[in-house]
Amino acid sequence: MRNIFVLSLSIVTIAILSLNSFAQTDKVQIIRGQLVCVQIDKTGQASVSKEFTECAGLLYLLGVDGDLYSLHGSEEEMKEIKQNSKSRMGYRLPLRLKGKTVGHQRAWQLYTPSLELEENSIKTTVTGTLLCVFPNQKEGSVNPKIADGPCNEAEPHAHFIQTDEGEIYALHGTLDDIVSLEKNPKRVDVTLTGILRANESGWILYVN
């Protein structure tokens, strides 16, 4: 099963690399950074927490290298990561997370080593509000916000879409697909089509 997964991952890698600057490494590496939880509160607003034991939304790792990753992992690994994320004596040391990085500067993902994403190629449509997630290196945090217009000129950042039901989906895709999404000034009532992948650590929509 695992071999099949690795094989299909390699095929996907080759296909993706030949298309765009969408880099994927099968090699497990260590990424250092601060862990942040972004979830939707009772009023429907995106709220950010640096101190948490549970996260009902998306987890982001703000890398000390300056890159922002949406983090996805198996239930067991994520539990351990969240426990290690607590501050000690009021100070939060950057975490050292093991994983595989996928994507590019405008949409990095970090997968923990044992994560096996559901195989799924069914196209799904998601309608909602598009939010930009800007890294805030000074605070060791992120700022999720609805942009006033195109955001492709802004510093590299991540995105998610929030439905009226309060579900959130991390957005990933090729650089071209992400940039075309960023160029669209429409941010509310946006309909995106892509392939949906889910696991215990949140939904991912691969836009195309």
Contact footprint for Zn ion (CB under 5 A) = 132, 151
Amino acid identity for residue 164 in this structure: D
The dihedrals phi and psi of 166, each to the nearest 5 degrees, come to: 90, 10
Burial label for 105, CB within 10 Å (0-12, 13-18, 19+), is middle
CB of 147 to Zn ion, least distance (A): 5
CB of 145 to Zn ion, least distance (A): 9
Judged by beta carbon, residue 95 or residue 175, the one nearer Zn ion is 175
| Partner residues linked to 152 by β-bridges | none
CB of 126 to Zn ion, least distance (A): 16
Strands 107-111 and 95-104: antiparallel
Judged by beta carbon, residue 40 or residue 151, the one nearer Zn ion is 151
Judged by beta carbon, residue 59 or residue 151, the one nearer Zn ion is 151
CA 176/CA 125 separation, integer angstroms: 19
Judged by beta carbon, residue 73 or residue 173, the one nearer Zn ion is 173
CA 35/CA 74 separation, integer angstroms: 16
CB of 182 to Zn ion, least distance (A): 5
Judged by beta carbon, residue 62 or residue 132, the one nearer Zn ion is 132
H helix count then E strand count, the chain: 3, 13
Judged by beta carbon, residue 13 or residue 129, the one nearer Zn ion is 129
CB of 114 to Zn ion, least distance (A): 31
The dihedrals phi and psi of 14, each to the nearest 5 degrees, come to: -60, -45
CA 130/CA 6 separation, integer angstroms: 32
Write out the two tokens for 94.
Answer: 């950057």
CB of 62 to Zn ion, least distance (A): 16
